[in-house]
Structure 1
Amino acid sequence: MAAFAPVAGKPPLSTAMRFALRELRGGLAGFRIFIACIALGVAAIAGVGSITRAITAGLEAEGGTILGGDLSFNRSMTAPTPEEAAFLAGLGRISTLAELRAMARSPTTQTLVEIKAIDDAYPLTGTMQLGAGGPLDAALAADAAGTFGAVVDPLLLARLDVEVGDTLEVGRTTVRIADSIAAEPDKVGSGIDFGPRLMLSREALDATGLIQPGSIIRYETRLKLPEPVTSDRVTAVADAVVAAFPEASWRVRSRDNASPGLQRNIDRFAQFLTLVGLTALVVGGVGVTNAVKSFLDRKRDSIAAFKALGAPGGFVVAVYLAQILVITLVGVVIGIAVGVLAPYFGGDALANVLNLPIVIGIYPVELVLAALYGILTALAFALWSLGRAHDVPVSALFRDRVAPETHRPRLIYIAATVASVATLAGLAILLAYDRYVAVVFVGAAAGAFLLLYGVALGIMALARRAPTVRSAELRLAIRNIHRPGGLTVSVVLSLGLGLALLVTLALIDGNLRRQLTGTIPEVAPSFFFLDIQSSEADAFEARVREVAPGVTIERVPMLRGRITALKGVPTDQITPPADARWALEGERGVTYSAALPEASTLAAGSWWPADYTGEPLVSFEDELAELLDLEIGDLVTVNVLGREITARIANTRSLEWESLAINFVMVFSPNTFAGAPHSVLATTTFADEPGEAAEIGLMKAVIESFPTVTVVRVKEVLDAVNGIVSDLALAIRAAASIALVSSVLVLAGALAAGHRQRIYDAVILKTFGATRARVLGAYAAEYLLLGLATAIFGVVAGGIAAFGVLEGLMNIDAVFDPVVAIGAAFVALVLTVGFGLAGTWRILGRKAAPVLRDM
């Protein structure tokens, strides 16, 4: 009793720590799974956080280079006026660019290119590097024959099978390939490219004849302010420019927010990967529970000795909680070490693939957050089991070998468990980029655990009520499933969540691929033709029908406009939902029509008469109108060609976006744009599969007859999008594998936790004459039944989750893939039966005498 002499009625905490450290001298045997689960989850969160922060820091550090200056003012179809240019030039150095898509043609083939026409001041920041290392202005200058030079992406050389020194046809002129582009300083801020870069001078662009009334061209003026430059000064200058030209309808960006869309996408993807890491931790939490229960089972004699010598229950909990925390810190340190190294080994490669800047370093906030997640997970899943040891009498501890206790811990331990879980969930929600998604994740995780626990109890209830079978092996397997202290709950919890996640991601991936490569090609047009001059539209259609008789042609007028106000409220004062932000942040294609477009279905309101001449009316896309809280009769203001046009919503339409037919968010009444210059957008759709030669022949004929028309081949766009989806799917699968690996580790730990009980069972059965084959058969049947039940849950839960994501968030018709179900079932069976039999085989080799003597 002297060892536990009370101080103020209780043994001091230092005494508990001393005993905890003494016991830990024996090593970490039995805690390898525990440490691996914590380390894996912490490493995932720390690695994702560190890499994301490194890329974000790179974007912030290189903001001026990415943007091309301190401020950027851009809009479509309208170049800066002399007054606007003079005002900006009075604030600092300026450079004006023009960007558009067009066709480049070699003697043998043609391809879509992204043209950037620059002035003499480009680049204001950063360095433009050419393949041969020469100056940019010399490369773009015209030669003695008057042929302008161009520098191109090396991909264009390969795609057109040309070399430096060769010539290309662009629009109505010929350009000479003067050099290739080695490094373009503002490439990251350019957005998604559908073709390789072709850089020209502004004079060369004028010579191409591509700039026509209504051409889809974006003008960007960049401003480099005199030093010193501060964020406050940049903001003040931006406000002054907008105030000076309120009708300019510029999209203004600063070096502090050089690529907001890119940053949002990085944040979203980082959140997804962080949630996957949290899933790994939560799954690993089951392993923590199993490890703690197994640990306390091995320490039964020590706990009994503590209590027999007068140690209070709180002292016992303190001793083993201290050990659990020390072991948790081991796993956390390992995970943090991996997280620190992640940017050095993986971040640089990722940044190169995505063409992003990165500032590699150690980011304490992200590492501390990952460590906190790991510690909270360990506490949340360990406190309940530790709390049960508080009030268990010595006799029950010894009897627990054959009759496990199932009483609840004291209220204080329940409260501590709930507090740990609540803090873990609160952090996940509070620090999330999209809190709604985080709330859904937390709710889904909690629901999945409750459902899995219910499934485990249901399996046990069914096994308990199952009729008696003749096979002794199967009868023993069924009884093992429902007996107290069995593996059912541990196996279902450990494997079920990982399988559900695997099925969810596999179904989402499969449906996305089906949508891109299955449904769309059956109904999609073969080509989109942009920048058709309205005066050439009839001749264009005639030429297409001459080359491809029977082809279906759809054509509509095309303008570009930016929404500047909704219901009289300027858009810069509106905070739209995340799903609708895209509609207010940039310019949208707009059109007008006397009749309801073919790809649209009227959702609300009525269409205007064909000869309507009243106030401007607009038809709005139904889902977007709902997100923006727009109703019939509300006013929408759009800036088109520098003019503010306010129209009243006459109706809303449902669109079939997946058909890839011509669709517009806004369709105006024809009188709205009477006399406005515009181009024509057209699509062509073959009645039957045309084949490669027919499509190439049509594209070549159109480009030869109408060199300023831009041709977008749908098949190539789908291939590009499918490539992006494939890359994302690969990243998602790699991330999801972390959760699956956690499930496998936890499953191994769950089976190892039952190792001691299995030894007793096997020895007793062998003592009464059971052969090794029959015992092995009984265990195999048990593992098979558990794996099958878990697989069924994983398939059902994963299918429901995938359906919710596809139908609810992506608006994609979900189709269940039986191959995924079979694959998940196979994985579950292989893991449970494989791990189970691997451990059982060693158990069956144990001698009976030592085990019986120890009972």
Structure 2
Amino acid sequence: MSASAPLNTLRLAIRFSLREMRGGLSGFLIFITCIALGVAAIGGVNSVARAITTGVANQGQTLLGGDLRFQLTHRETDEREHAFLTELGAVSHSANMRSMARLTDGSDQTLVEVKAVDDLYPLYGELVTEPVLAKDAMFEEREGVMGAAAADILLQRLGISVGDRVSLGTGEFEIRSVITSEPDAVSEGFGLAPRLLVSLEGLRASGLIQPGSLVEHAYKIRLPIGATEATIEEVREKATADFPESGWSIRSRTNAAPSLSTNVERFSQFLTLVGLTSLVVGGVGVANAVRAYLDAKRPVIATFKSLGASGRFVFTIYLVQIMMISAVGIVIGVVLGALMPPIAASFLSSVLPVPQAGGIFPGALALGAMFGILVTLAFALLPLGRARDVPATALFREMGFDKRGMPRLVYVASALATALLMAAIAIWTASDRRIAVIFIVAAIFAFLILRLVSVGVQWLARKSPRVRSTALRLAIGNIHRPGALTPSVVLSLGLGLTLLVTIALIDGNLRRQIAGNLPEQAPNFFFVDIQSADADNFADLLAREVPDGKLIRVPMLRGRVVALNGVDVRDIDVPPEGRWVLRGDRGITYARNVPENSTLSQGEWWPDGYDGEPLVSFAAQEGRELGLKIGDAVTVNVLGRNISARISNFREVQWESLAINFVMVFSPNTFAGAPHSWLATLADPSAGPAEEARILNTVTRAFPGVTSVRVKDALEIVNDIVTQLAVAIRAAAAVALIASVLVLSGALAAGNRARVHDAVVLKTLGATRGTLIRAFSLEYTIIGLATAIFALLAGGVAAWFVVARIMTLPSAFLPEVALSTILIALVLTVGFGLIGTWRVLGHKAAPVLRNL
């Protein structure tokens, strides 16, 4: 009997729960909506992310252009390396570089991403062009002119069409087709300019490939049919072991687009955390709904207890009901989350040229459902526990549960344990756990501070001097009276507004930097691939053409960090914020003096004419992220040679200036005799668009092999990307704000019962409807202003941390964000408050007075 008693109790509780739920779920619509929104946000965002990453994995061969991809910078493979690659299978060689495409009459030019391919390209997938041409017809030489295919945007920029000609370097190319689809474009990385596709022979004939030119050579391998991942890993290990100084980076079909996958993962993590915030905000609505529901069930609970039901049995009945109702919201959220990937695919197809995997992603949806269950438990246990211990006599006498204090310790501990479990799962499933921890701590801190804000507002209202205005006196009394709406309104609206302020300030600061401050302090042009033989003539030309301009030029090579203190970087556990330094090739330079826009923070600079062991100056922040210190050894591979240098000093670098800066600056003797090109910037604040166009045309005519990048054009591309990201971020923030509004309306609705009694009594004592409306309006205005002030302070601090500490950009508080936040808070609190109040004031006095 004792063993079956709990099971029998549960069965009986479920029977009573189902009977009570026959009346419908009308009182739980906000509850269900909040849970559904949060679950849909988390499940949907993770489903979209997994659809993209799965699509990348499934199409790895096509996106990479082979089963394996070996990349070298500055140089092609030597004879031994090429023999090794050809033994593996079919090899397709392509070369990528940036250059300037010019009209043949020299009247206009634009930056292009040049990609030169061989006859085997592509090994996988299909190059789609319009009109459709065979590669021979597309690229062959006709009457001394090579062929090319171009992106449509290139034709638009230069005002040309198929059949017209452009100059590239010292060569001339005829545009014979427009590129519709390039199968391996994603694996090539982010591009600042439109694609121009030529043959390898055409690129070599253009004269652009010179010693030190910034050109990336990719060798894509098609392995024999049936090659497994184990086979690919064996090839990778053999290539690394047999060619330790080759300097090539190796990617496989399972990692076709690592930057894309990483960015999708990080972005989905951010949106997941925002979705979790909306779910937690909805949890406040859960608590309000449960409290209001139990208050309405007061006579039923009293009857249960009068008939001998234990507190545990009452708790079980209503916990079962709450979890059943929560299940409805979770199911709705899961369905919405499952529908999100195909919807997102239609919007992302033009922005993200990656085939998304179809189907349902149970893991992502289960994560959202799990968070929905945990949030329900965390916020429902306290009001349920409070109702469990209220005696029947008190339930018959009192209006509700607000005066009963805290529930038993076991319920408090259970709610806290559930919240901690939810935080642990959020951190455990995050790709960057440091960011997740910061987010969770900030959310907990916001909850505590919001609670203190509500207590502070009530304390100030209680201690405020007596005022003559009846309406204001009533408003102040309503703020601090027992059962006041102040805690619920401040908590529900505060979290949503804080998130909105944070995102608005981050977005505003980024746009301000891109569109405002950066162009003012940034150079007008970057010039890349200036050959050493042309460096002095290049400087003389700009000195004549732009006498007021400031030209800065430095030598530049490309190198990849292969070891730190003799340990292969692949074996080092690097924090996420520092991984970019070790990923792929980095620009490096050498210098006799400390570069501009940087200052020594630790160590000493090498003396003029230094000729000892190679030394390197490392950027201070990146050095800290990698755990480096003075005296550590850094090994880089440059032009197929591994070169080790000792860290001599650290520099604080102002990256936001967009001036020439490098993570690593070596002593001049490190690369003595190595072929390299030069990088230069030109700054002339007085130059307008017409003058910049003239400078660009002059440089391109005189030095066709030099790549000129107009900074404002690059910033416009970045601004477009930020705009696209901001749409998704704002959509996620809107979900949190909608949850806040729903919780706010639920909190106001839950307080309507007490408001009815207050309004009826006051009207009976002579208060007019106008006086009550003014009183309620003032009450909601005061609470709304207090919430807005908190949101501005908390959101401002959070945005400053992200912009100044994580992005290392100047952060400013934007007045328009503050004003809009205050207006939103007042409109929501006063608007929803008055909507509910108007219904309250319409109640007849007699029915209410009879039940007092």
Please confirm whether the aligned pair reaches a TM-score higher than 0.5, indicating the same fold: yes
Corresponding residue number in structure 1 for 2:111: 112
- 2:388 equivalent in structure 1: 390
Matched residue, 2:441: 443
Secondary structure at the counterpart of residue 665 of structure 2? strand
Q: Look up the equivalent residue of 2:111 and give its one-letter code.
A: L
Counting only pairs closer than 5 Å after superposition, residues 86-485 of structure 1 correspond to structure 2 as 86-106=83-103, 107=105, 108-143=107-142, 145-401=143-399, 404-485=402-483
Q: Is the 8 A contact 1:506 1:820 kept in 2?
A: yes
Residue 700 of structure 1: how far off its partner (Å): 0.5
Alpha-carbon distance in structure 2 between the residues aligned to 1:69 and 1:403: 67
Q: Which residue of 2 aligns with 1:619?
A: 617
Q: Deviations over 1:710-756 (max 9, x none)?
A: 10111101111111112222221111111111100000000000011
Match of 2:26 in 1: 29
Q: How far did residue 8 of structure 1 move?
A: 4.9
Pairwise mapping of residues 660-809 of structure 1 onto structure 2 (< 5 A)? 660-686=658-684, 688-809=685-806
Deviations 1:815-849 (A, max 9, x none): 11222112111111110000000010011111111
Q: Name the counterpart of 1:15.
A: 12
Partners of 2:270 and 2:438 lie apart in 1 by: 12
Contact 1:55 1:351 in 2 (8 A): no
Deviation at 1:9, TM superposition (A): 9.4
- 8 A Cα contact 2:466 2:473, kept in partner: yes
Task: Output the CA distance in 2 between the equivalents of 1:731 and 1:402.
Answer: 42
Q: CA deviation at 1:270?
A: 0.3
Give the AA of the match of 2:613.
E
Quote the Cα distance in structure 2 between the aligned partners of 1:9 and 1:707.
85
Residues in 1 aligned to 2:22 and 2:789: alpha-carbon distance in whole angstroms? 44
Distance 2:401 2:312 in 1: 24
TM-score normalised per structure 1? 0.98
Following the alignment from structure 1 to structure 2, what is the Cα–Cα distance between the partners of residues 89 and 400? 86
* Structure 1, 751-760 or 435-444: larger mean CA deviation: 435-444
* Residue deviations 1:380-439 (CA, integer Å, cap 9, x gap): 100110111111011211332178423221222222212211221111111111111111
Q: Are 1:11 and 1:315, in contact at CA under 8 Å, matched by a contact in 2?
A: no
Q: What one-letter code is carried by the residue in structure 2 that aligns with 1:632?
A: I
| 1:637 pairs with one of 635, 638, 643 | 635
> What's the offset of the Cα at 1:62?
0.5
Deviations 1:119-155 (A, max 9, x none): 1111011111111122233211112x03110001111
Deviations 1:95-130 (A, max 9, x none): 111100000011431100000101111101111111
> 465-474 vs 598-607, which deviates more?
598-607
Report how far residue 269 of structure 1 moved: 0.3
Distance 1:9 1:53 in 2: 42
Give 1:570 shift.
Answer: 2.0
Contact 2:385 2:407 in 1 (8 A): yes
SS in 2 for 1:429: helix
Counterpart in 2 of 1:63?
60
Aligned to 2:819: 822
1:748 and 1:224 mapped to 2: Cα distance? 61
User: Which letter maps to 2:728?
Assistant: A
The 5 A counterparts of 1:538-549 are 538-549=536-547
Match of 1:811 among 801, 805, 808: 808
Unaligned runs of 5+ residues in structure 1 are none
Between 791-800 and 627-636, report the one with greater CA deviation.
627-636
For the residues of structure 2 that align with 1:713 and 1:307, how far apart are their CA atoms?
A: 78
SS in 2 for 1:287: helix
CA distance in 2, matches of 1:412, 1:599: 59
Correspondence 1:605 to 2:603: yes
Distance 1:403 1:132, change over 3 A: closer
Shift of 1:10: 9.8
Cα contact 1:102–1:710 (8 A) shared by 2 = yes
Code of the aligned partner of 2:654: E
Q: Is the 8 A contact 2:526 2:710 kept in 1?
A: yes
Give the match's secondary structure for 2:309: coil
1:854 to partner: Cα distance? 2.5
Residue 849 of structure 1 aligns with an amino acid whose one-letter code is A
TM-score normalised by the chain length of structure 2 = 0.98
Task: Report the AA paired with residue 137 of structure 2.
Answer: A
How big is the alpha-carbon RMSD for the aligned residues of Structure 1 and Structure 2?
A: 1.5
Question: Does residue 80 of structure 2 align to residue 49 of structure 1?
Answer: no
CA distance in 2, matches of 1:643, 1:86: 19
Q: Deviations over 1:778-822 (max 9, x none)?
A: 111111111111111111111111122222211122211222112
**Which residue is 1:655 aligned to?**
653
Give 1:530 shift: 0.8
Distance 1:202 1:180 in 2: 19
- The residue identity in structure 2 corresponding to 1:203 is E
Alignment of 1:529-608 (within 5 A): 529-608=527-606
Q: 1: CA distance between counterparts of 2:584 and 2:541? A: 34
Which residue in the other structure is 1:508 paired with? Answer: 506
Q: Distance in 2 between matches of 1:512 and 1:744?
A: 28
Show the counterpart of 1:852. 849
The 1:403/1:849 distance shift into structure 2, 3 A limit, reads farther
SS in 1 for 2:650: strand
CA distance in 2: counterparts of 1:653 and 1:238, whole angstroms:
36
- Using the TM superposition, name which of 156-165 and 78-87 deviates more: 78-87
The answer (yes or no) to whether the contact 2:600–2:649 under 8 Å persists in 1 is: yes
For residue 547 of structure 1, what is the amino acid of its counterpart?
E
Provide closer, same or farther for how the CA distance between residues 10 and 150 of structure 1 changes in structure 2, counting only shifts above 3 A: closer
Q: Which residue of 1 aligns with 2:626?
A: 628
- The alignment partner of 1:111 has SS state of strand
1:11 CA displacement = 6.4
Gap runs ≥5 in structure 2? none
Q: Contact 1:71/1:253 (CA < 8 Å) preserved in 2? A: yes
Contact map agreement 1:396 1:405 (CA 8 A) in 2 = no
Cα distance between partner residues in 2 of 1:820 and 1:438: 26
Give the Cα separation in 2 of the matches to 1:8 and 1:536.
92
Aligned residues of 1:17 and 1:319 also touching (Cα < 8 A): yes
The CA distance in 2 between the partners of 1:499 and 1:777, in whole Å, is 25
1:635–1:647 contact (8 Å) kept in structure 2: yes
Matches of 1:274 and 1:220, distance apart in 2: 36
SS in 1 for 2:559: strand
